[in-house]
Amino acid sequence: MRAMVLTRPAPAEESPLAARDLPVAPPGPAALRVRVRVCAVCHTDLHVVEGDLPLPVLPIVPGHQIVGTVDAVGDGVTRFRIGDRVGIPWLHSTDGTCPYCVRGTENLCDAARFTGYHVDGGYAEHATIGEAFAYAIPDRFTDEHAAPLLCAGVIGYRALRLSEARPGDRLGLYGFGASAHIVLQIARHLGCEVYVFTRGAQHRALATRLGAAWTGTADDRPPHALDAAIVFAPAGGLVPAALGATRKGATVALAGITMTPIPAMDYALLRHERTVRSVANSTRDDVRECLRIAAEVPVETAVQAYDLVDANRALQDLKASRIDGAGIVRVA
């Protein structure tokens, strides 16, 4: 099968992914083999490729927002059949027995394995997944428009929940890429008023079109204090800015898998029971709930498409904020 493979991390500008032919393996017990149609591009892919995260496996095929069709099933598979359309997200497997899994926080499982990080991902013609970690894609979405929901949507949805934003609240979104443009729509559907902070005029225009009540840069003061905020951009300097824009008792959720250092800040920014909390991975329930509510809205995903052989360029454009919405790699 054709695949874009990382053998050594390097800056995206150096095009570290190389085209390779890899063998196609049969699925194991209770597992599916999926013929990949589309894989969306994520900032986590960029962090993997550039070595911002410690890499447990090399070489590795990145990509973890996969939509495709089942083309082989292992022994014991009951939920899916050959020809079914499925999605494969970041969470590839957990042990199911550790204290985190037992408490319902499998996203924190110490033995968790992740797609495109521990096992080969979706920048390839085939991928495999245990059927317990695969998801039916709502018919409402095309392959291209479903793929960004599987991480950008899911992590954004989890961040929205952890921000504790309620109907009628004013929610701030710092950074406006693939995840934030989905969260804006879900938050509005749930009754929130959304304020978007982003440098790019094109991103502000998209936010306005999708229903943002106000847009500006992180240096701007919103017209009203925020009840909650989510920081999507991996810039620690945005944390004090977000806290400074919130009211008493607000929560600022940090949605990135990595972030530059958070600068020292005056305790007054945290006073009055403000909370800063990180968001780590997602659970299977998060994926199911996100797909369900995205179909209800229905969420409109803005996508920019690339061919598989152009995966390096997709990562370069993502790094330079040249993608309006979500980037996707077309495989089949």
DSSP assignment of 89-126 equals -SEEE--S-SHHHHTT-GGG-TT-EEBTTTB--SSBSE
211-220 mean pLDDT: 96
Residue 57: half-sphere exposure toward Cβ, Cα within 13 Å: 13
Cα 173 off chain centre by:
15
**Predicted confidence (pLDDT) per residue in 15-25, tens digit:** 999 999 999 98
Strands 193-197 and 326-330 turn out to be unpaired
Q: % helix / strand / coil in the chain, to the nearest 5?
A: 30, 25, 45
Opening angle at CA 255, ends 53 and 258, nearest 5: 20
Look at residue 324 and tell me whether its pLDDT is greater than 90: no
End-to-end CA, the chain: 11
**Predicted confidence (pLDDT) per residue in 23-76, tens digit:** 998 999 999 999 999 999 999 999 999 999 999 999 999 999 999 999 999 999
Q: Which residue has the tokens 């919130």?
A: 246
Q: What structural domains and CATH numbers belong to the chain?
A: 2-149+282-330 (3.90.180.10), 154-278 (3.40.50.720)
Query: Amino acid identity, residue 53?
Result: L
- Radius of gyration of the chain measured on its C-alpha atoms: 19
**Predicted confidence (pLDDT) per residue in 81-110, tens digit:** 999 999 999 999 999 999 999 999 999 999
Please indicate, yes or no, whether the overall pTM of this predicted structure exceeds 0.75. Answer: yes
